[in-house]
Structure formats: C-alpha cells, structure tokens
Amino acid sequence: MEKKVILSGIQATGDLHLGHYIGVLKRFVEMQDEFDCYYMIANLHALTVRRDPKELKENVYKLLASYIAAGLDPDKSTIFLQSQVHEHAELGWVLDCYTYMGELSRMTQYKDKSAKHADNINAGLFTYPSLMAGDILLYQADLVPTGEDQKQHVELTRDLAERFNKLYGETFKIPKPFIEKVGARVMGLQDPTSKMSKSSTLPNDTILLIDTPEEIMKKVKKAVTDSDGIVKYDEENKPGISNLMEIYGIITSKTMDEIENEFEGQGYGNFKVAVADAIIKELEPFRNKYNELMANPSYLEEIYNKGAKKASEVASKTLKDVYEKIGIIR
C-alpha cells in the first residue's frame, strides 16, 4: 500500500520554543518512518511581517538545524525551503483567485496578527491561508500535523480543494488536519491562558529550545501557578499547573493520573524541579546537535538543495495539471 503523504511547515521567524517542540516537531519525527513526509521551511510566509533580511536568512538555517537536531532525517523525509520551489508562489496566486474575502476575514490568525501589527496590515497577511493551502495541495497531502491554532487554515484548504475539484474535476487530494489531543497548545509559563509564542513580550514566558539548563530551571521555577498547592489536572481552574503537567506528561510519557499520584502531598516545589529536569534532559541532545549543525552551514545547504529537487518533482506535476485545467499556458 502507498504511504500516506504528510506535509507541514514552520515559519522561519526566530528561535523555536517548547511549544513548537511538543506541538509539532516531536510529531514530525514520529511520523517520518510510517509516512511519506514533506517538511517545509516557510520563509515566504514569514514576509507577512516586516523582517530584517539578514535575520530572515539566518532564521532559515536555525530552523533547518532545529529540524535535524530534533531528529528529522533528510534521507527519510523531504526537507525543503518554500522559496526554492517556485510552484508554491504560483499555486498560491491561483488559489487567491478561488478564495473569498469573507473566508479570509474570518481567519483568527489574521484577526490576531492584524491587531498586533496594526501599522502593517498588508495583503499578504490577509491571503496567507491561500499560500498555505497551496503548500499543502501541491503535495497531495493526506494529513497536515500542526498545533491547534492552524486547524482553521487546514479546514479552509479543504474547502478550496473541494471547490476546485468540483469546478475542474479531481485535481487535489482533500487533506485532513492532524492535531493531537495533548500538547497541541502549550501555554506560556507566565500567562498560561495564551499559547507559548515567539512573540510573547513577558519575560520567562517562553522556553527556547536553545536555552541553557540554568535558564530552563529558572523559567520553570518562576512559572505562574495557583495557591492550592495540589498537583491536579484542571485546565479551567488551574491552567498553570495543568500546562506544566501536560509538558511533563508528554516528555515522560506519563498520564495525568500518574503525575497526580507521583506528586501527591508534595506541593509545587518538587514538581517544578521535576518538570524542569525532564525538559533539560530532553533538550540536551537537541542543543548539542543544534550547535554542531549551526557551525556547518554547507551541510545545511546540501540538505535544502537536495530537498528542493525532490519537492519540485512532485509540486511541478500538480501545478502542471492545475494550469492545464484552468487554461494557463506555460
């Protein structure tokens, strides 16, 4: 039987954090043996917010090094840059012409980001989901693993694929979002009611994957909790503790019940140290590998050039079919 196709991506916009690691990177790695995986570095999407050009380039290397350090294997998965496969920009434009303004206006990410960047609400920010739909549909992906916040974009992708197929006949596979129940929304340590984010302005809110053990310990110890002193999973009333429990549970493969029993009658001090130790132990090999890779940019270039070739083969077939169907001469 043919392997199912996976496509996902992360924007090249800065250092990755624990939310990325737990929400998506660990899943990407788990999926690469069973599926035919395409993992993209979304650097075109990163343009929707004003960036320093030098930093944008650097962020591509950082993200690629993070993919590999987390365990992605370029011999098993196709790892590539969105900008190196020109079909993304082309299909993105085509899909723009099949996406309604009303659909795009309903996107939560657009509403959030336009509130955050009120001085630069550009058209790219608005049509971001059509470009993302193109990313997914070019590879005829079956499943799209992402964090909870991207679900709406994948649903729009399904609508666009169905709309196109109805008009022109079977062209795109209809993809499904793939979102885990636990860990798809790791919350900030200082504000456990908002997701951990690169753009958080609260100090100690976000654990970066390249943080030192000391920094990780400090941030977890300072994490906002509550005054009960009971390690119990209750997202609504104890968001801080529940978030730490989810992080700990995913890393150690323990259930919420097991964690409650493990720390019964112990207060938060011991629990926080155990959480920090688990994170530190999990991320140590990542950090070492990451530093090694960042010192060897030509190896990273080899990986992305090889990935682009393989991705282009698939993407060009889909785009050719689309162009033929809609009457575009190439």
What residue has token string 């900030």? Answer: 188
**Are 194 and 187 a contacting pair, CB within 8 Å?**
yes
CB 65 within 8 A of CB 290: yes
Q: Which stretch binds ligand LTN (CB under 6 A): 6-14, 31-39, 119-127, 202-210?
A: 6-14
Q: Is 136 in the site for ligand ATP (CB under 6 A)?
A: no
Smallest distance, ligand ATP to C-beta of residue 150, A: 4
Taking CB under 6 A as the criterion, which residues in 148-187 touch ligand ATP? Answer: 149-150, 184-186
Residue 158 interaction partner, one of ligand LTN, ligand ATP, none, beta carbon < 5-8 Å per kind:
none
Which has the closest alpha carbon to 240: 199, 296, 277, 193? 193
Q: How far is the CB of 207 from ligand ATP (least distance, A)?
A: 10
**Is 11 within 8 Å of 45 (Cβ atoms)?**
yes
Does residue 262 interact with ligand ATP by CB under 6 A? no
CB of 131 to ligand ATP, least distance (A): 13
Count other Cβ atoms within 10 Å, centred on residue 316.
15
Does residue number 11 form part of the binding site for ligand LTN (CB under 6 A)?
Answer: yes
Binds ligand ATP by CB under 6 A, chosen from 23, 74, 177, 239: 23
Q: Measured from the CB of residue 244, what is the shortest distance to ligand ATP in angstroms?
A: 14
Element holding 176 (H helix, E strand): strand 176-178
Residue 20 contacts which entry, ligand LTN, ligand ATP, none (Cβ below 5-8 A, type-dependent): ligand ATP
Q: Judging by DSSP bridges, how do beta strands 143-145 and 78-81 pair with one another? A: unpaired
Of 81, 107, 132, 207, the one binding ligand LTN by CB under 6 A? 132
Q: Is 163 in contact with 170 (CB distance < 8 Å)?
A: no
175 binds ligand LTN (CB under 6 A): no
* Residue-by-residue DSSP string for 91-145: HHHHHHTTS-HHHHHT-HHHHHHHHHTTT---HHHHHHHHHHHHHHHHTT-SEEE
User: Rounded to the nearest whole angstrom, what is the least distance from the CB of residue 270 to ligand LTN in the complex?
Assistant: 35
Q: Which is nearer to ligand ATP, 13 or 83 (CB)?
A: 13
Count each helix (H run) and each strand (E run) in the chain, helices first: 13, 5
Cβ 12 vs Cβ 63: under 8 Å: yes
Phi, psi (deg, nearest 5) at residue 244: -60, -40
187: exposed, middle or buried (Cβ count in 10 Å: 0-12, 13-18, 19+): buried
State which of positions 197-216 bind ligand ATP (CB under 6 A).
197-199
* Residue closer to ligand LTN (CB basis): 61 or 233: 61
Q: Which CB sits closer to ligand ATP, 117 or 198?
A: 198
Query: Could you say whether residue 147 binds ligand ATP (CB under 6 A)?
Result: yes
Give the separation between CA 125 and CA 165, rounded to whole angstroms.
Answer: 26
Residue 11 found at the interface with ligand ATP (CB under 6 A): yes
Contacting residues for 101 by C-beta, under 8 A, at least 6 apart:
none
- Tell me how far, at minimum, the Cβ of 133 lies from ligand LTN, in Å: 8
Site residues for ligand LTN, 40-79, by CB under 6 A, read 42, 45
User: What is the distance between the alpha carbons of residues 16 and 308, in angstroms, rounded to a whole number?
Assistant: 22
Cβ proximity to ligand ATP: between 2 and 52 the closer is 52
Give catalytic residues, as residue numbers. 113, 195, 198
225 binds ligand LTN (CB under 6 A): no
Give contact residues for ligand ATP (rule: CB under 6 A). 10-11, 13, 19-20, 23-24, 146-147, 149-150, 184-186, 195-199
Question: Which residue ranges make up the site for ligand LTN (CB under 6 A)?
Answer: 7-11, 42, 45, 132, 135-136, 144, 146, 150, 153
